[in-house]
Structure 1
Amino acid sequence: MTPIENYIAHAPERQKSHLEQMYQLLKAELPNASEKISYGMPTFFTDENIVHFAGFKHHLGFYPTPGPIVKFADELKDYKTSKGAIQFPYTQELPENLIKQIVDYRKMELDQK
């Protein structure tokens, strides 16, 4: 069991569906990334952290760093955001296509470094 699978296994039932969906999506989008728990959150990384996500009481937090949040501000207007975080409520389906676009943008940022 990976550290992220262990995190999901110990999460409250209400969170597990969104956590598992996000995990599978990120695994598919980041096949060469490693997995770890960083800052108490599931994290995909290579030479540095790529994205984090975590379950909270009312939402799944997604942490793709500030760049993608600025880039996709219009698409994220229906979600609560901050400098480096997006909140996806458990009462809504995850916007998979948008998450994929955000991850692709994040990969592009890392490739440019």
Structure 2
Amino acid sequence: MAIAKPGHSHNSSVSAHSHGADATQSHGHVHNPESLQRILNRFARVEGHIRGIKTMIQEGRPCPDVLVQIAAVRGALDRVARIILDEHLSECITRAAEEGNIEAEIDELKAALDRFLP
């Protein structure tokens, strides 16, 4: 969990994560409890799917079958990323605009997208 910077309140009903490679250069982000649970549930499904792929490989299942499952995991990760990006755009960018920080926030988002997108 990231440490909140001054001016950002966090309580036990929300969780924070940091955007960017260095938490000291970033703001914290608060997920509402419903969104946090949705994200965690999706990651739990991805974890289970990956364990299933590992089992397929150990059992000697055909490569095309394994590749189909890998593609499914990629899609699931892309959907989680989309949820996080949507939240960032609706929450963080809006807050940055209100605080007069929009340029720094956009630069941070661009850097994150450069690392995320192929």
How high is the TM-score relative to the length of structure 1? Answer: 0.27
Q: Which has the larger radius of gyration?
A: 2
Give 1 or 2: higher helix fraction: 2
Give 1 or 2: higher strand fraction: 1
Tell me: higher relative CO, structure 1 or 2? Use CA pairs within 8 A at least 6 residues apart: 1
How high is the TM-score relative to the length of structure 2? Answer: 0.26
